[in-house]
């Protein structure tokens, strides 16, 4: 007696599925205004997401000049990690984007330099060699000795950093040797990757 009831219930479920499928196929397509509205909403959402990421997480910057050669070359596009310096301070060896403390008319507002010393470090240059806390600093990124006069010793103040360009030729880099230490808060982020040109793509 139960078998016909089960068959009837199954038939009803299949009929219900067919009806829903028929209604779906017969649904009225969206008009162009609805399509445009959906597209604009998606675009607005994407713009907001990118803006938030750019504001708090990452940024792109372009290298100008020769001060970071041979590590970076003019025209290269860098991916800059901004959130790292919001969570913790800069470290020795970081390549950082910072506000230019001694801007020249016509130049970019920002510069790219390497962090050489953090608060408490003593920086000195003798005979073309860089010393940090009395020890010679290994600098595989530089291709020549430091040109120019000796410097220091100078002890980096609390809340500040000492920065230099990797290009150690005379007059090639405007850095902490001329404008002094800079507030750590003026560092906007750490350059992580060269994104462009493609043959130069790499982590730095």
> Catalytic: which of 21, 41, 113, 176?
113
Handedness of CA 164, 166, 167, 169 (dihedral sign): positive
Question: Among candidates 58, 74, 102, which has minimal Cα distance to 191?
Answer: 58
193: which residues sit within 8 A by CB, 6+ positions away? 78, 79, 201, 202, 203, 204
> What is the spatial distance between Cα 114 and Cα 191, in angstroms, rounded to a whole number?
10
User: Could you tell me if 104 and 82 are in contact, meaning their C-beta atoms sit under 8 angstroms apart?
Assistant: no
Catalytic member of 30, 41, 42, 67: 67
Q: How far apart are CA 71 and CA 141, in angstroms?
A: 6
Which residue in the block uniquely carries the two structure tokens 């399509």? 35
Q: Give catalytic status of residue 28 as yes or no.
A: no
Q: Are 164 and 177 in contact (CB under 8 A)?
A: yes
Q: How far is CA 167 from CA 16, 33, 42, in A?
A: 76, 57, 46
Q: Does the annotation count 113 as an active-site position?
A: yes
Token readout for 95 is: 């390549």
Positions marked active-site: 67, 113
């Amino acid at each position: 007696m139960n078998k016909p009831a089960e068959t009837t219930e199954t038939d009803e479920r299949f009929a219900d599925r067919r009806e829903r499928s028929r209604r779906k196929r017969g649904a009225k397509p969206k008009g162009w205004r609805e399509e445009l509205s959906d597209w604009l909403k998606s675009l607005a959402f994407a713009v907001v997401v990118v803006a938030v990421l750019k504001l708090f997480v990452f940024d792109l910057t372009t290298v100008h000049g020769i001060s970071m050669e041979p590590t970076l070359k003019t025209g290269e596009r860098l991916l800059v990690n901004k959130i790292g310096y919001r969570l913790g301070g800069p470290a020795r060896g970081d390549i950082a984007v910072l506000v230019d403390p001694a801007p020249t008319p016509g130049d970019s507002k920002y510069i790219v330099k390497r962090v050489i010393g953090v608060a408490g470090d003593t920086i000195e240059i003798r005979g073309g060699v860089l010393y940090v806390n009395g020890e010679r600093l290994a600098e595989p990124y530089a291709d020549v000795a430091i040109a120019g006069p000796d410097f220091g010793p100078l002890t980096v103040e609390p809340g500040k950093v000492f920065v230099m360009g990797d290009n150690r030729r005379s007059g090639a880099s405007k850095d902490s040797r001329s404008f002094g230490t800079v507030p750590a808060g003026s560092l906007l982020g750490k350059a992580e990757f060269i994104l462009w040109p493609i043959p130069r793509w790499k982590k730095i």
